[in-house]
Structure formats: structure tokens, C-alpha cells
Structure 1
Amino acid sequence: MKYFAKLFLAAVLLVAYAMNFTSFARDLVYIDQVLNPAKLQGSGKLTWWGLHIYDASFYRAGSFSSPEFALHLQYHKSLSGLAIANRSAEEMSKLGVPDTQAQLWGKQLAIFLPNVEPGQSLTAIYNPKQGTTFYFDGNPLAQIAGADFSKAFFGIWLDPKTSAPKLREQLLGQHCPPPLLQESCKQ
């Protein structure tokens, strides 16, 4: 009887793993198509007061020196789109973006950011010619043009002054941040 219970548990874990892998592979397809090909630079998780908020993955286009990149967030907590937009504006302000500009960008984000539930994802992909394109579960949401917004938005995770330095370190790994952040880097 114990043998069958262990076998059943192993089968359940294998199916759960396969479902997560399939979901991850599905998510990577659209990132890979845009970055042609996508190369994972690093990943980590954000926790707040011991709560696992999301897993983050940072991709570069082809090489770790590419100016095109993507940040993929797989959520583990339910959050409203408005809360995500407001928090993004707060974090931009903390990085030195003038409050009026950060609030304006926060309002722009609030227009299209959806509520998220555990298992859902938001992805932002930066292309110097187009700006930042946002995706919800692999489907395009909106695009915000301009390097200033992109630098402020991605700075939330990648700027040296981020409020999540451990996550920044995990996302960048042993490689430099993207040129958008204009940070000198020696490899």
C-alpha cells in the first residue's frame, strides 16, 4: 500500500512539473520570437514580509550585451493592476524620477495593467526603436514609447538604487545591465 501511495505522489509531482514546464515553455515562445532568440540572463524571486510575490526572469536578445531585453514576472499573489501601477510609480520616484513624471507614468500604466492572480504573468520587453511593450500571459497589452520611461520602469529592478538589490543581483548574474541604464560595467 505504501508503495502505491509513493507511486501516486510521484506521478502527481511529475504531472505538476510537466504543467509548470509547459507553461514556462509557452511563456518563453513569445519572448523568444520578439528577442530572436531570447537568452536567460538571470532569475530570482521577490518576497515582501516573507510573502512570495512573484518570480522574475531577465532575458537578453541573443547575447548578454544586447540592448534589447525582457523582464518576465510570474505572480504568486493576487494584485490589482492599479496597485501594480501605483507601486511602479512609487519605485520610480525612489530612483529619482520627479514625482509628477512618476505619477503620470503610473496613471498611464493603470490604464492597461490588469489584475493578476497566482500563476499569471506580466512581461515587459524593451526595444530601443519601439520602447517598452507589455504583455499579459503572453498577449500584447500596450506599448509606451521612449527611453526615459523604459529606463525608469526597468530601473525598478535593474538600477543600482533598486529597493530589491538581491533580486537585481540574481537577475543580472555575472553580466552587465543593459545599455539603456547607462551604467559602466566591466566583465
Structure 2
Amino acid sequence: MRALWLLLSLVVITAPPALASNQAPTITETSNKESAIKSVTSQYPWYQWKTVGQATLTWGLWDIYNSELKTPTGKYSGLDSNLALIIRYLRDIDKDDLLQATNEQWQHLGYSKQQITPWLTTLSAIWPNVKKGDRLIFVQRNGIGQFYQGTQPLGKPLSKSLTRSFIAIWLSPKTDYPELRKQLINQ
């Protein structure tokens, strides 16, 4: 159980200020918000994708993170589909712990050390530590994954094999957390 909650230190994403306000907007603010939304959604269409499912990982008495799976249609059709996995952390997690947890999950899924080692090297170069409240996002489009910090890409797009193996941690039928998977894919 420790492994998956540690895993999710992908990228920190926060909504642009124009999208995050809870106050009643003025006409000018409304216009600015609409402009910001159009700008963000044209460059990052996953902001508009529909939620497939949501889940919270709990370990013992502690909630570790809230997760949300989004796709263009709001339906999950398999590991190769276009999707966004958004994580909101409820605890601080060190990058090294996330890498260790990722390694454990890939071993659980049956990947070899020869496959895992270069993937961990790639992730080590781009993953930050996460803090409570950080929002992280992993976007997969046309079989290629990308991590984001805010609206900026974090690192380069990932290989298809790393993309597929990363999302398999949550969405493979062999996941270590089948109940979380069921909630995310809405089964």
C-alpha cells in the first residue's frame, strides 16, 4: 500500500489564477476568465475533457491523495486511449520515495529490471518532491505521455513504453489497487 501512495509525485499543476478564483467576478474579470479559459483549453485540451471517475487512496487512517481520470469522451477505453490522470496530494512525499514506490509497482506488474532501470532514470530527472495540496497531472495523447507543472511541460514527452507502463500502475487489470482502478474507470 505504501508504494502506490508514494508513487504519485508527477508534476505540480495549479489552475491559472483566472480559473481558480472563488469570488464573484466582475464583468471585466468574467471576460478575463473566459479569455484565460479559451487560451488554456486551446493549448491544453485536457482541461475540457470529461471525468471518467474519481478515487481517494487511503492508507490506514490517512488519506494520501485524491485522483481523477479524464478522457475526451468521459469513458475509459483502454491503456492506449487519450487520458489525463490528475492527482491532488493530501500529504508531502519525497521524490526518492516516489521513485522507490514506482519501482515496486512495476515489479508487481511484472516488468523486468532491464525495462525499469531506464524508466526510473528518466523519471528521476523530471520529478519534483510533492507537498500537501499539490496537483499533479499526467497526460497521454496518441500513446505518448507528458508530465506537466502548471501549464508547462515537465521534461520531454515519454516513450510509448514508459507511457504505457506508467499509466498501467493505476489502470492495468493487474494493478496492486483494483478498487482504486474500478473507481477511476467507473466500473
Q: Given the two structures, how large is their TM-score scaled by the length of structure 1?
A: 0.70
Q: Which residue in the other structure is 1:85 paired with?
A: 99
Q: Mean alpha-carbon deviation: is it higher for 58-67 or for 100-109?
A: 58-67
Q: Unmatched 5+ residue regions in structure 1?
A: 1-20, 175-187
Q: Which residue in the other structure is 1:22 paired with?
A: 20
Q: Write the distance in 2 (CA, Å) between the matches of 1:100 and 1:52.
A: 33
Corresponding residue number in structure 1 for 2:154: 141
What's the counterpart of residue 46 of structure 2? 35
Contact map agreement 1:36 1:61 (CA 8 A) in 2:
no
CA deviation after TM superposition for structure 1 residue 101, in Å: 1.4
Residue 56 of structure 2 corresponds to residue 45 of structure 1: yes
Tell me if structure 1 keeps the 8 A contact 2:146–2:154: yes
Residues 139 and 146 of structure 2 are in contact (CA less than 8 Å); yes or no, is this contact kept in structure 1? yes
Shift in Å, 1:143: 3.1
Distance 2:45 2:155 in 1: 15
**2:132 & 2:21 partners in 1: Cα distance?**
13
Q: 1:156 to 1:140 in 2, by over 3 A?
A: same
TM-score by structure 2 length? 0.70
Correspondence 1:106 to 2:120: yes
- Check the 8 A contact 1:53/1:76 in 2, yes or no: yes
Any conservation in 2 of the 1:85–1:107 contact (CA below 8 Å)? Answer: no
Map of 2:88 onto structure 1: 74
* Residue pair 2:99, 2:124 contacting (<8 A) in 1 also: yes
- Of 166, 176, 179, the match for 1:166: 179
Q: Over aligned residue pairs, what C-alpha RMSD do you find?
A: 2.7
Size of the aligned set, in residue pairs, is 151
* 97-106 or 31-40, larger mean C-alpha shift: 31-40
SS in 2 for 1:116: coil
Cα distance change of structure 1 residues 75 and 100 upon mapping to structure 2, 3 Å threshold = same
The answer as to whether partners of 2:65 and 2:89 remain within 8 angstroms in 1 is yes
1:122 aligns with 2:136: yes
Q: Is the 8 A contact 1:82 1:113 kept in 2?
A: no
Q: Deviations over 1:97-146 (max 9, x none)?
A: 112211321121111101111110211000126x1110134432123433
Checking the alignment, whether the CA contact within 8 Å between 1:44 and 1:171 is kept in structure 2 is: yes
- Contiguous gaps of at least 5 residues in structure 2: 1-18, 23-32
Structure 1, 58-67 or 104-113: larger mean CA deviation: 58-67
Larger Rg computed on CA atoms: 1
Identity rate, percent: 27
SS at match of 2:102: helix
2:91 match: secondary structure: coil
8 A Cα contact 2:76 2:185, kept in partner: no
Report which structure shows greater RCO (CA 8 Å, sep ≥6): 2
Q: Matched residue of 1:143: which SS?
A: coil
- Residues 63 and 144 of structure 1: CA distance in aligned 2, closer, same or farther (over 3 Å): same
Deviations 1:55-76 (A, max 9, x none): 1100002352562101011101
Alpha-carbon distance between aligned partners in 2 of 1:85 and 1:143, rounded to the nearest angstrom: 18
